[in-house]
């Protein structure tokens, strides 16, 4: 006991020195914060910071916090300082003055494992590699010419969908299930991302092993896809009907870009394309159908437009859709109220910058609350209501130039797949409205349709929409 007491007494000066040093560091940090004029912050808890304030629906919780503290908000999410933007004016300032500074993404555990060490486009660091991959996406995959050339894919998929609805046998494919698993893991809480010194717990809990298992399944899937396409390379009949895989493999073969496309590069790019389009279009379609069922006048108006434009033809053509102005208004209004990703993919500052009246330090995570911006009464009359007519005779679009409507992001890191995604939703909805009438189950009132959200990589309806198709076309 005497030896123990001596040890404790002898260690007291060191212990007290550590406390004083720690206190001094905290004081200096707080003093620096006051000097730098950082954005306002809500009270935080020790260690976890503001994590507890995110709630089950972070886009709604953050909107409420911004209403109280301001449209530019600073949170401490574990180890990570995070700025939340809920103002179209601030988004405009970012794009006009600081787009390059805000063009990086945080490198998370999930991104690193699933996307082959950030070799895709969405999460690649801003730089020459990203520029080359972005050029491939914009010029080779998602240009207007390419989107039009992919019409045969949309034709086949819509024909399958219509036939499935007719037979009432909507069953998911294995890829869809695998993509769902990826999205669940992608949005799961990663201890190591919030608290780097506890990263080992992600191994113990099984999170990292699960990420690696899904990555291996995707890797095997893409190996099979690439092998099948190589087997078809000598078939001249498919040369004029190229899909994403064929185009990227041809680019690899031709060496047209200043980029050595390895197998991992190709797989990472394909993962962006496949997963990005697996859930987003179906989620938008479900929300749109739910809103139309809740608003029968809008349903009647858009259905009449589709029927009048298509006439008695045996199929809906893309040329027809270009004439469906009200359908486009319905899609815009759906994406305004129900952006697939209400919090846009996070960004990270590459340098310190002044934004509005506040200082934003380097290496700060930035969340853009598109959901809050798109329901801001400053920009939208009756912002909580579904009113497609607000877009009639309006030039407001979602291409990233109207900052009050940014479901696909903005600036350099905006979504290059927007033209393809919108074309797919337009084509699917036009066909669903042309071939079928839609009814809710007996006894269910459209006015009481549950619109509760379920948060994830995309925000879905918590209770999936169940409707009955009534075929009214017999071609």
Within 8 A by CB and 6+ apart from 472, the residues are 435, 436, 437
CB atoms within 10 A of CB 417: 22
CB proximity list for 338: less than 8 A, separation 6 or greater = 283, 284, 287, 291, 459
Burial profile 209-235: b = 16 or more Cβ within 10 angstroms, e = fewer: ebbeebbeebeebbeebbeebeeeeee
List the structure tokens of 65. 């916090």
Q: Are 214 and 206 in contact (CB under 8 A)?
A: no
Neighbours of 98 (CB within 10 A): 18
Report the C-alpha gap between 215 and 212 in whole angstroms: 5
CA neighbor of 420 nearest in space, from 148, 130, 136: 148
Q: Are 367 and 85 within 8 A, CB to CB?
A: yes
Neighbours of 75 (CB within 10 A): 23
Assess contact for 67 and 59: CB atoms under 8 A.
no
Whole-angstrom CA distances from 76 to 49, 296, 344 are 5, 45, 18
For residues 257 and 251, the answer to whether their CB atoms sit within 8 Å is yes
Say whether 415 counts as a known binding-site residue.
yes
Long-range contacts of 257-264 (CB under 8 A, 24+ apart): 257/132, 257/135, 257/136, 258/128, 258/132, 259/129, 259/132, 259/133, 259/136, 263/226, 264/116, 264/117, 264/119
User: Rg (Cα) of the chain, in Å, rounded?
Assistant: 25
Contacts of 300 (CB under 8 A, 6+ apart): none
Name residue 469's beta-bridge partners: 438
| Residue 22: both structure tokens together | 């720690």
Could you tell me which residues are annotated as the binding site? 415
Could you tell me which residues are annotated as the binding site for heme? 415
């Amino acid at each position: 006991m005497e030896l123990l007491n001596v040890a404790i007494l002898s260690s007291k000066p060191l212990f007290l020195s550590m406390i004083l040093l720690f206190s001094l560091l905290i004081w200096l940090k707080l003093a620096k914060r006051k000097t730098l004029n950082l954005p306002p912050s809500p009270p935080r808890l020790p260690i976890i910071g503001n994590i507890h304030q995110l709630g089950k629906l972070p886009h709604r919780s953050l909107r409420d916090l911004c209403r109280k503290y301001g449209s530019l908000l600073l949170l401490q999410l574990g180890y990570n300082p995070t700025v939340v933007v809920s103002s179209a004016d601030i988004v405009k300032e970012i794009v006009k003055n600081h787009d390059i500074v805000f063009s990086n993404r945080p490198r998370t555990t999930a991104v690193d494992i699933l996307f082959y060490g950030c070799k895709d486009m969405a999460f690649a660091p801003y730089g020459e590699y990203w520029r080359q991959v972005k050029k491939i996406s914009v010029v080779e995959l998602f240009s207007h010419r390419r989107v039009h050339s992919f019409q045969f894919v949309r034709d086949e998929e819509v024909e399958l969908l219509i036939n499935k609805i007719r037979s009432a046998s909507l069953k998911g494919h294995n890829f869809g299930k695998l993509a769902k698993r990826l999205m669940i893991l992608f949005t799961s809480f990663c201890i190591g991302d919030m608290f780097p010194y506890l990263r080992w717990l992600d191994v113990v809990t099984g999170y990292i092993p699960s990420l690696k298992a899904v990555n291996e399944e995707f890797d095997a899937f893409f190996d099979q896809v690439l092998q099948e396409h190589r087997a078809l390379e000598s078939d001249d009949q498919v040369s004029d009907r190229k899909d994403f895989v064929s185009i990227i493999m041809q680019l690899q073969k031709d060496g047209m870009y200043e980029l050595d496309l390895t197998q991992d590069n190709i797989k990472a790019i394909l993962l962006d394309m496949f997963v990005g389009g697996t859930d987003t279009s179906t989620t938008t379609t479900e929300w749109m159908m739910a809103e139309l069922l809740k608003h029968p006048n809008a349903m009647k108006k858009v259905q009449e437009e589709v029927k009048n434009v298509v006439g008695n033809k045996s199929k809906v053509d893309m040329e027809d859709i270009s004439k469906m102005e009200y359908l486009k208004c319905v899609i815009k209004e759906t994406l305004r109220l129900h952006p697939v990703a209400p919090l846009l993919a996070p960004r990270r500052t590459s340098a310190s910058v002044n934004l509005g009246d506040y200082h934003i330090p380097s290496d700060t995570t930035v969340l853009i609350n598109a959901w809050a911006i798109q329901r801001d009464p400053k920009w939208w009359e009756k912002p909580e209501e579904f009113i497609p007519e607000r877009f009639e005779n309006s030039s407001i679009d979602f291409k990233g130039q109207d900052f009050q409507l940014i479901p696909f992001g903005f600036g350099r890191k905006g979504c290059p797949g927007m033209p393809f995604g919108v074309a797919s939703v337009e084509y699917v909805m036009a066909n669903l409205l042309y071939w079928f009438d839609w009814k809710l189950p007996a006894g269910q009132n459209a006015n009481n349709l549950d619109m509760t959200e379920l948060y994830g990589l995309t925000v879905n309806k918590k209770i999936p929409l169940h409707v009955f198709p009534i075929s009214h076309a017999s071609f």
